[in-house]
Structure 1
Amino acid sequence: MFDHLLVLDIAGGAIRRVDLDGTVSTLVAETGSAPDGIVYDPASDRIFWTLMGRPSRGDDGPDFSARNGGLRSARLDGSDAATVLTDGTITTGKQLDLADGHLYWGDREGGRVTRAAVDGSEVADLVIRPRDPETGLVDIADQCVGVAVDVASRHLYWTQKGPAKGDAGRIFRAGLDLPAGETAENRTDIETVWADLPEPIDLWFDAASSSLYWTDRGAAPRGNTLNCAPVPAVGDTGRTPTILADGFGEAIGLAIDADADVAYVTALDGTVRAVPTHPDAPAERVVAEVAGSAFTGIVGIPARTEQS
């Protein structure tokens, strides 16, 4: 079970520790520009987080198309902060997953899903979406955000949220490794598992139930929700998801404590909510609410790490 949570505060450029009793403190005061995805690696006892980088001012708000995102790391206590991938290695680092000693992340404006070893080596693109030949930009429909890995079946899942509140979001699946003789640009094993979603963001794969959970920051009633659905067989599409909770203030990050049957969801309104994933779990509640903060990625830290 989780002892506490670590949450990225994009407004403050910091990592906040959130205890389950609602106590909030600062673990890392300076993350770098626009932190978005975070994971914990028990093997190294370190946390890793992505950076979206420094935006320019566009007509419709911040423009993150400049390639200046990166990947950082620190010990679990916040010390020994280090650069894993220098700023500019990633365009816009989004949600992050960890499997088999490798980090997987979505690169939104980069239109990619990428993998690297936790030491920053072995960087490899697994998915590259098309770019406009004239502008060099990736269409918003092809921007990759959330990622989740199913190690047992060797599958990768990712979200493409589409336009804001656009009901054009999708969740895709492909092999965890490139098919022989294919590249990240032309791989033929990509399938659309869910389509016409409001605006899917972060993903979580639950191996025990072979289900996917995801946050969605789209428009109500299906958006700003926490969703769950069983993973379909290869070649099939997913069934209509079950909405476990709604009414979030721009839902983003997701961490599931399988032992406690609780999902923790962050939102851009500076809240962390606990949502039961089983009828016998504790009732839904707001764990923390921090005025002036905007929470993105979240990771749960198991109690046993406190004794290591």
Structure 2
Amino acid sequence: MFDHLLVLDIVGGAVRRVDLDGALSTVVGDTGPAPDGIVHDPTTDRIFWTLMGPPSGRDFSARSGGLRSARTDGSDVTTVLPDGAITTGKQLAIADGHLYWSDREGGRITRARLDGSDVTDLVVRPRDPGTGAVDIHDQCVGIAVDTVSRHLYWTQKGPAKGDAGRIFRAGLDLSEGQTAENRTDIETLWSDLPEPIDLWLDDASSTLFWTDRGAPPFGNTLNSAPVPAVGESGVEPTVLAKEFAEAIGLAVDAHAGVAYVTALDGTVRAVPIRPDAPPERVVAAVSGSAFTGIVGVAS
């Protein structure tokens, strides 16, 4: 079960600790520009986070994202991948001694070892041959990794409030003869979603959870659905909670039966995912902050 939460404050450029009773403190005071995805590695007791980098005009299309790490007490902040190694670092996952992340404007899914070595693209979406840009429908945001079935899941949110979001699945490893640009095993599991953002996979129940920041009634929600069998599409998702102010980050404590969701209004909300779990509540609300990634740290 989670002992406390660590959330990224994109306005303050900080990692905040949120205790389950709502107490708040700062763990890292300078994350770098626009932090978005965060994970905890219990074997080293370190946290890792992605950076979107500073915006270039009205977007994050400039290649200025990176990846950093620190101890859970905020000490020993190190650069795993330098700024400019990623275009726009989004959700981050950890599995089998590797970091996996979505690169939104980069249109790709990438992994590397915890020390930043062996950087490998797993999925690369097409670019416009004229501009070199990735179409907004192909920008990758959320990510989840299943090391048992060896599958990778990710979201492509599409335009803001556009009802063109999708969730995909592919093998966790490139098979012989395949490249990240020309994979033949990509499945579209859900389409025409409002604007799916972060993903969470519960292996025990074979359930996918995701946040959505699209337009109501199905946007700005927390959703769940069973993982479909290979070759099948996903069933209609269940809306577990709604009326978030731009839902982003997601951490699921399956043992407690609670999902924690962050939003850009600086809130962290606890949502029951089982009938026996405590009722929905606001864990923290921090005026002037905007929370993106979240991770639970177990006791």
Shorter-chain TM band: over 0.9
Verify the 8 A CA contact 1:40 1:301 in the aligned structure 2. Answer: yes
1:8-87 alignment, distance < 5 Å = 8-57=8-57, 62-87=58-83
1:203-257, Cα deviation, whole Å (9 max, x unpaired): 0000011110000000000000000000011110000000000000000000011
2:251 to 244, 250, 255: 255
CA distance in 1 between counterparts of 2:8 and 2:25 reads 12
CA distance in 1 between counterparts of 2:61 and 2:127 reads 12
CA distance in 2 between counterparts of 1:246 and 1:54 reads 30
CA distance in 1 between counterparts of 2:55 and 2:26 reads 24
CA distance in 2 between counterparts of 1:185 and 1:291 reads 42
Secondary structure at the counterpart of residue 153 of structure 2: strand
Secondary structure at the counterpart of residue 194 of structure 1: strand
1:284 to 266, 277, 280: 280
1:238 to 227, 234, 248: 234
Which amino acid is 2:212 matched to?
D
Counterpart residue number, 1:7: 7
- Runs of 4+ more than 6 Å apart: none
Structure 2: gaps (5+ residues): none
Which amino acid is 1:52 matched to?
M
1:288-307 alignment, distance < 5 Å = 288-303=284-299
1:46-195 alignment, distance < 5 Å = 46-57=46-57, 62-195=58-191
Q: CA deviation at 1:259?
A: 1.0
CA distance in 2 between counterparts of 1:188 and 1:136 reads 23
Structure 1: gaps (5+ residues): 304-308
- TM-score, length basis structure 2: 0.99
CA distance in 2 between counterparts of 1:169 and 1:79 reads 38
Counterpart residue number, 1:306: none
Does residue 266 (structure 1) correspond to residue 262 (structure 2)? The answer is yes
Secondary structure at the counterpart of residue 56 of structure 1: coil
Q: Percent identical across equivalent pairs?
A: 78
Which amino acid is 1:18 matched to?
V
> How many residues get paired?
299
Verify the 8 A CA contact 1:179 1:189 in the aligned structure 2. Answer: no
Verify the 8 A CA contact 1:49 1:72 in the aligned structure 2. Answer: yes
Indicate the RMSD between aligned Cα atoms, in angstroms.
Answer: 0.5
